[in-house]
Structure formats: structure tokens, C-alpha cells
Amino acid sequence: MIKMKNLTLGYKKEKILNDVNIRVKKGEFIGIIGPSGAGKSTLLMSITGGIKVFNGKFEVLDIDLENIKKKNLIKLREQIGVVFQGYNLVDRLSVLDNVVSGMLKDIPLTRAILKLYKNKELEKAKEYMDIVDITKHSLKRCDELSGGQRQRVAIARALAAEPKIILADEPVSALDPKSAKKVMEVLKRVNEVYGVTVITNLHHLEYAKEYCNRIVGVNGGRVVFDDNSEKLTDKLVEKIYAVN
């Protein structure tokens, strides 16, 4: 579902990632690791079609990302859920309203504003809240939740749009270890239950090793490791985090 072949990516005139060759299949759970400034976020966010392609082939969900047209960009983004470190929730709305807002493309705006949800929508929302274990707080406002709980709401909201891919940009870096593990467990569950491909940038190597099936290591704009998590030896870790 994602094909990167001899791909060079960057911003305006600056090339950030060079000669990237990655293929991603449906249902994978991939962790991107590497030192600060290596290009992890650029690599992750390039999947949403927002990063310039200098060279090579880049296809996501059968859409060619080189010189992508607006219509295809919309089609692409409808199929990708993005979870940020900053949560991007509407604070003054409840957990339930935030999760339902993920389905907005199916709900007319006036009905959404008036919160006139149908039973089917409420059932779906409950299913997504259950899977991220936030149902008991469904009527709380999001600004009353902890960081980990908010991140789980953000995942439920992303799921509500029924994406094929979820991209999580440093989803746990602001969290304490217990909350971080819970968020990683939720991502894994979502990946396993719905078969959604999950790709996440992680600052903590241990989380990548424990939860991801595959690890991509980036250093200085190049992919220096791409294999099953078990193949990541201490020596390879040194290579990924080496200072150039």
C-alpha cells in the first residue's frame, strides 16, 4: 500500500531524505526511529502527500504522489488518519463529540453542530471508545483528561474516519511511561483488530522494539535499518543513533 523507490524528499530546494526504498503492506505496525533531525517526521508526513518529491517513485494507496493533484490529495487524506503529539482535539467538546467528529464526512454539518447523532453513529463511537478504553469518560470535556487519555481519544477519532493507514507523530513523547505504554498498547490493538496499517515516529527505542513488528532506522536523511524488530541488535542501534 506504500511504495517508495529511490525516493528523495524535502522542502523547497532542500533535500532531506535521500534514496529511500520502502514498501509497506497492509496491516504492518512500523516504528520509525533515529536521532533528532534525522528526518523521521519528514518521512512520516510525506505519506500524506505534503512533502516535495525530488526524485524517485512514491505511491500511497495506489495514488502517485509526485505532482499530486488536489482531487487525489483529498482522496488520499480521507484514507489516512493522523495522530499528533499535540492531540488536535476540540477541548471544550466531550470525548464522544470529538470521536463522532471523526465521522464528519458522513454526517451533515448542521446535524453535527446540533449533536443529533444517529444510533448507528453512537454505536460506532462506542466501539472506538471501547477499543481505546475511554468509554467511561465519554461525557467529559477533553480538557478534563490527562495527556494519555487525550491521546487515546485522538486515536479513537482517527479510527472513526475508518482509515486504511494511521500515522502517529511522536504519540508518546510527552507522556509518563505508564500512559505511554497504554497508548502504545492501544495502537497495537487497533492495528490487530482492524488491520489498519500503523506507522509511528518514536523517540524511545524500547517502545519501538516492544510494540512494532518492523523498525525503520533513519540517520542523516538515509534509511540505515529496515527489518523486523527482533533483528535490531545493539550494534545496529549504535549505527542508527551515530552522530555524523
Query: Binding residues for ligand ATP, per CB under 6 A?
Result: 11, 14, 16, 34, 36-42
Cβ nearer to ligand ATP, comparing 50 with 108: 50
Between CA 178 and CA 182 the distance in angstroms is: 6
Cβ nearer to ligand ATP, comparing 41 with 94: 41
Cβ nearer to ligand ATP, comparing 31 with 102: 31
**What is each CA distance from 200 to 127, 147, 213, in whole angstroms?**
23, 18, 12
- Shortest Å distance, C-beta 203 to ligand ATP: 6
Kindly state the cell numbers that stand for 125.
Answer: 463511537
Cβ nearer to ligand ATP, comparing 9 with 103: 9
Between CA 105 and CA 101 the distance in angstroms is: 9
Between CA 142 and CA 138 the distance in angstroms is: 9
Between CA 163 and CA 82 the distance in angstroms is: 9
The neighbouring-strand residues paired with 168 are 83, 200
- Shortest Å distance, C-beta 83 to ligand ATP: 15
Inter-helix orientation angle 119-131/177-194, to 10°: 130
Rg (CA), the chain: 18
Cβ nearer to ligand ATP, comparing 132 with 166: 166
- Shortest Å distance, C-beta 169 to ligand ATP: 8
Kindly state the cell numbers that stand for 193.
Answer: 483488530
- Shortest Å distance, C-beta 37 to ligand ATP: 5
Cβ nearer to ligand ATP, comparing 10 with 148: 10
- Shortest Å distance, C-beta 44 to ligand ATP: 8
What is the number of residues in the chain?
244
Please, where are the H alpha helices in 56-204?
A: 70-78, 95-101, 109-113, 119-131, 147-160, 177-194
Cβ nearer to ligand ATP, comparing 41 with 151: 41
- Shortest Å distance, C-beta 113 to ligand ATP: 33
Lookup result for grid cell 523521521: 40
Element (H, E) at 18: strand 14-24
- Shortest Å distance, C-beta 24 to ligand ATP: 18
